[in-house]
Amino acid sequence: MRQALLLLLLPQLLLQLQLLKAEETPQGHLEEFGKQGPNLGIDQVDGFIPPQEFINEYVRKNKPLLFKGAAKLSPAFNKWTDEYLSSMVPPRPAGDIFIEHSKKENRSQGYNFVHFKKFLEIYNTSNIYMVSDVPEYLLSDLLLPFPLQCRLFIRGGLDTHVVWFSSGGTSSVIHHDAYENINCLYRGRKKLVFLNTTKVDVTKRPEFSGLEFHIAEMETGDCLYIPLFWIHQVRSFENNLAVNIWWPPRTEYKLGECMPQYSTKLNFNRVYFKTIENNIRGDVDNIRLVLKAILPKDDRTEASLMKILSGGNEALVANPEFASAVSSIFKALDLNMDGELSDEELGRKLTRKDFRPIYKAVAAYNIIVYRMHETAGNGPEADRLPKLFRTSNSDESVFAPHRTWTQPEPPGPEEEEDEMPTDDWQPPQAEPEKSKDEL
């Protein structure tokens, strides 16, 4: 009788056990990303390794790598104090940077530009977070990491660079990047939690429970390779300043065209970052469209440009600073130096050595004109002031409609070319290897 009763109750007992097991709290439930499974480390080396080893052993194998102390080789490591950064900043709009308003990443939040000096004054007591291209005036302080010192990367294989700067306590969303990435840390600490999706199919395991995580603890002066498509979250601690480089995935690398030793001549100013350069090229193309629209077709001389930009204001024409800025724009545009701007000069596709001087001349002009508008405010003189040329390095706080030339409609889009720079710059020769004491 007792045995029959047990057999009768056994299915119900088994069901209760299953229900109890189902109610057990999964590992890492409601805890931060990375607590849902065992934590493993990643490979690390002292300093940088040569490009061939980096590409073959890490990029092609899709493995992260921590370069201990490698960022200390860049001049920025010792130079980039707040005081130094502030001393380098030009006036608006050339000195503007892009910021987020929350240290906890939210991709629907608002963004805007502020002057870098203003950021440096307030970031330690606010939640603002600089996420911006490395400013032009700081590029020479950063050396291209040795693993990327190959002709392919130097001449257009890299996409962009970004500064990540805050008072600490930032946290990214859990995400992956469709780009390869090297991040170098100049202040503070970072913790990166990785989930390697090349080994685990997370579409079949969305709960993450029991998966293996890889942890990278970055200290001041470290660099980190973040492989393509690895899911990760970034957390920063203390006053935090980092720069990363992104580049698109490739199936082929020409490793025979890499530097045999680390060159300290290869700073960011000597490297062609494709997206950065295309943005500058786009600004220059828009400026030329404006000039083509406002200049009389039968009179595109420097005198005509001065008359248009000054609005016929004799005081402006007599202002040496303003006159010099207008003259610089004209000379940069007048590629054949014949004293007249042709349709070709205002319309053809420009090489880097052609559009860079135009961009520099317009940036100097915009600084002068914006200062005039700031001084005049909303007074009666404002209507008689020259206008700015819109560029992508600031927003409506600078380029308000009443003080900015209207952009004409551009012509139909041209097919995008994967063009390498056409200037004659060559990588510097390898330097003698330095001892550890010299470094």
Q: Are 389 and 309 in contact (CB under 8 A)?
A: no
Q: Where are the alpha helices (DSSP H) in 32-126?
A: 51-54, 76-79, 82-88, 116-122
Nearest to 229 by CA among 59, 106, 50, 31: 59
Helix, strand or coil for residue 38? Answer: coil
How many other C-beta atoms are found inside a 10 Å radius of the C-beta of residue 122? 11
Secondary structure E strands in 204-278:
213-218, 223-226, 231-247, 272-273
Q: Which CATH class is domain 44-272?
A: mainly beta
283-317 CB burial, b ≥16 within 10 A, e <16: bbbbbbbbbbeebeeeebebebbbbbbbeebeebb
Kind plus residue range of the DSSP H or E element containing 14: helix 2-22
Q: What is the pLDDT, as a whole number, of residue 240?
A: 96
- Rg, the chain, Cα only: 28
pLDDT, averaged in runs of 10, over the chain (439 residues) = 48 48 51 56 95 97 96 98 98 95 67 94 94 97 98 95 94 87 97 74 54 89 94 91 96 93 96 96 97 96 97 94 98 97 95 95 97 87 90 93 85 52 48 43
Q: Where are the beta strands (DSSP E) in 262-303?
A: 272-273
Check residue 77 and report its DSSP letter.
Answer: H
Note the Cα 193 to chain centre separation in Å: 22
Three-state SS string over 264-320 comes to CCCEHHHCEEHHHHHHHHHHHHHHHHHHHHHCCCCCCCHHHHHHHHHCCCHHHHCCH
Which pLDDT score is estimated for 381? 78
DSSP strands (E only) in 49-122 = 65-68, 96-100, 111-115
Token pair recorded at residue 3: 């045995």
Domain ranges across the chain: 44-272, 277-392
Query: Would you state the pLDDT for residue 15?
Result: 46
Query: At 188, phi and psi to the nearest 5?
Result: 80, -165
Cβ-proximal residues to 381 (8 Å cutoff; 6+ apart), any chain:
none
Rounded Cα distance, 97 and 165, in Å: 11
Q: At what angle do helices 274-294 and 352-376 cross, to 10 degrees?
A: 70
Q: How high is the pLDDT of residue 207?
A: 53
